[in-house]
Structure 1
């Protein structure tokens, strides 16, 4: 039985793409390397990889656009962006288009491999979660939707992950450092600012039920009260 895991690698720098491909292939991955977004989408449809590693700046179709298109038909496939950009707005744009993680160039292969395994393990653990009641809202973790009064809103992957973890600890404090390391990879200031933005977005999406609050417990983390 073939136990290799398929990875779609979209990287327009041939030398870097070849290095990453060869390194991953020594770790039991089957790597499909392409150099533009249009070819990446074609290979995605043909090969149905388990995870995507996408350069942001690519010819014909950039990584953000490609991820957005794929997210419209697949809400769970892990997506890692490779980018030379590291400004908060750039990273948030990546997450808003369905990215799960990002690596700033230059990066180490070991770090990329750790992040790939982390995302694959997270997907493996996702079961058919029943619809979750949060106040008057119905949260479908697997489909990444939040429904109220028969109106369904689609959450980004990061929003769904954050809300699910808040719900698991509802009415208790969700440790800030723990969730930053779990979802963002580390708890540095840059990622902490990113998480604060996502908390604000969730508050807005839950505001129609006055009995729901996401409270900031200064110095410790957040608490979902419902």
Structure 2
């Protein structure tokens, strides 16, 4: 079955180039030229991944991403953008993005990123609860629970915590996790991951026996 891609891009020529390139590689693609159309298409087209331009008429990419996250916490969302300020990248992740691709970009890079996120999204969403100190963690429902308190994690937080748990009491390589989740290990994605590590530390602070240690120049270690 063909994987379905929802592309929201107001540059018509670029949108058509992307559409033709992806369709020639076996994807099914819907091209929306504004944010409003993208939301409508998301509900009817049921895509496997969403590619969003940030600067669009009616609704920008950030707004579209927020609305999609209200409908689906798991679907991968990738931003295409000419913006490159660190704050823009952080804002994108805070609004539900899984990845950024900066314009101009190569089609091969886009396809590699799409395939990477589709592989991650195939993880079994029926995973049982995992014990983590006093916490319970469920990948499928993206929930971290302690006592009667449940915290719903974002998609990227879920993947990051899952990888830390897999390597508990060992070092999780920084470059590996950056490429797995963000698609690259450049300065901007590294800064963004630091923000996510800080968030996860806050979630876990209710159990003092759990720590995330920064191993300088190498990665992170979840100590339980």
Flag whether TM exceeds 0.5 (same fold): yes
Q: Which moved more, 1:41-50 or 1:176-185?
A: 176-185
How far residue 187 of structure 1 moved from its aligned partner, in angstroms, is 2.0
Identify the match of residue 113 of structure 2 among 99, 112, 115.
Answer: 115
Partner of 2:32: 34
**Larger deviation, residues 187-196 vs 161-170:** 187-196
Could you list the runs of 5+ residues in structure 1 that have no partner in the other structure? none
Contact persistence 1:95–1:156 (CA under 8 A): no
Report matched runs for 1:6-45 at 5 Å: 6-45=4-43
Match of 2:142 among 133, 144, 148: 144
CA drift of 1:172 comes to: 1.0
Provide Cα deviations, 1:48-100, integer angstroms capped at 9, x if missing partner: 01111111111111111111111122111111111111222211111122211
Aligned counterpart in structure 2 of residue 180 of structure 1, from 168, 178, 181: 178
What does residue range 67-86 of structure 1 map to in structure 2 within 5 Å? 67-86=65-84
TM-score, with length taken from structure 1: 0.94
Separation in 2, partners of 1:92, 1:204: 18
Aligned CA RMSD, in angstroms, stands at 1.3
Q: In the alignment, is the contact (CA less than 8 A) between 1:97 and 1:156 conserved in 2?
A: no
Stretches of structure 2 lacking an aligned partner (at least 5 in a row)? none
**1:37/1:8 CA distance change after superposition, 3 Å:** same
Say which SS state the counterpart of residue 216 (structure 1) adopts. strand
3-state secondary structure, aligned to 1:203? helix
Q: Secondary structure at the match of 1:72?
A: helix
| SS of residue in 1 equivalent to 2:58 | coil
Q: Secondary structure at the match of 1:211?
A: coil
2:127 alignment counterpart:
129
Provide the C-alpha distance between the structure 1 equivalents of 2:57 and 2:146, rounded to a whole number of angstroms: 41
Decide which moves more: 179-188 or 109-118.
Answer: 179-188
The whole-number CA distance in structure 2 between the counterparts of 1:68 and 1:177 is 28
Deviation at 1:195, TM superposition (A): 1.3
Range 134-143 or range 198-207, more displaced: 134-143
Task: Name the counterpart of 2:159.
Answer: 161
Partner of 2:209: 211
8 Å Cα contact 2:125-2:139 kept in structure 1: no
* Mapped contact 2:116–2:183 kept (Cα < 8 A): no
The TM-score with structure 2 as length reference comes to 0.95
**Contact kept in structure 2, 1:7 and 1:30, CA below 8 Å:** yes
1-structure distance, mates of 2:165, 2:132: 8
Tell me by how many angstroms 1:163 deviates. Answer: 0.6
- The farther-off stretch of 77-86 and 179-188 is 179-188
